[in-house]
Every structure is written in structure tokens, then in C-alpha cells.
Amino acid sequence: AQSVTQPDIHITVSEGASLELRCNYSYGATPYLFWYVQSPGQGLQLLLKYFSGDTLVQGIKGFEAEFKRSQSSFNLRKPSVHWSDAAEYFCAVARMDSSYKLIFGSGTRLLVRP
């Protein structure tokens, strides 16, 4: 069965520090992977996605993620966090059948210290 695990419920970093949010997936075939960000009371905004090709993916707002098949991971990184990055981050894997359903991880809440 497909699943996504985000092992960190909360992460707190200081503004200007680097960030890495972990995501592990379980999927039988080549996964289609996504990172979304959700600000309080808002819908989800797509940060980046991986389908194939270069395993280091660049996204919006200075985020990047690296797909590592050997570790079944798709960790999200940012070299320098801004206070506005405080939000909930969701990793997701898509079922690439006709449904295109997304399976979400449980989310990681990022808190940014001034």
C-alpha cells in the first residue's frame, strides 16, 4: 500500500538558519512526489514536484527537494528560513493511475524563531 511518512510533527528553526523537512514514501513504482505548504486557515500551495529526471528539484520561495530512491525519501530543504515560512508542510505521493489521487503525509509544522 502506498503511504507517506513525515516523522517530524513540529520543527522550530531560527530565522536565517537552514531547514530540512523529512519525507519518506512507500510506493511500488516510480513515485510522483509533491511538497505543499499550508498557511493557517488557507488551502495548499504547491512548492515543487518530482516526476522524473534530475533528482534535485527546485521550487518556489527558495525551496528545493531531493529524491533519493535508495532511501525512499524526498526531503525538503531551504538554505535560509524567513519568518514568513512558518506554516504547515505536507509531502504527498500521487497515484498515477486514472485517479491521480494524492496520498498525504501527516504534515510538519514549521515554527520560526526571530
Partner 1 sequence: GAVVSQHPSRVICKSGTSVKIECRSLDFQATTMFWYRQFPKQSLMLMATSNEGSKATYEQGVEKDKFLINHASLTLSTLTVTSAHPEDSSFYICSARRPLGDTQYFGPGTRLTVL
Phi, psi torsion values for 70, nearest 5 degrees: -65, -25
89 belongs to the binding site for partner 1 (CB under 8 A): no
14 to 11, 84, 109, 110: CA distances (angstroms): 10, 12, 14, 10
90 belongs to the binding site for partner 1 (CB under 8 A): yes
Question: What mask, x for binding partner 1 by CB under 8 A, covers residues 44 to 83?
Answer: xxx--x-x--------------------------------
Name the region of 33 (left: φ>0; alpha: ψ -120 to 50; beta: rest). Answer: beta
102 belongs to the binding site for partner 1 (CB under 8 A): yes
User: Which of the stretches 11-19, 54-62, 71-79, 88-96 binds partner 1 when contact is defined by CB under 8 A?
Assistant: 88-96
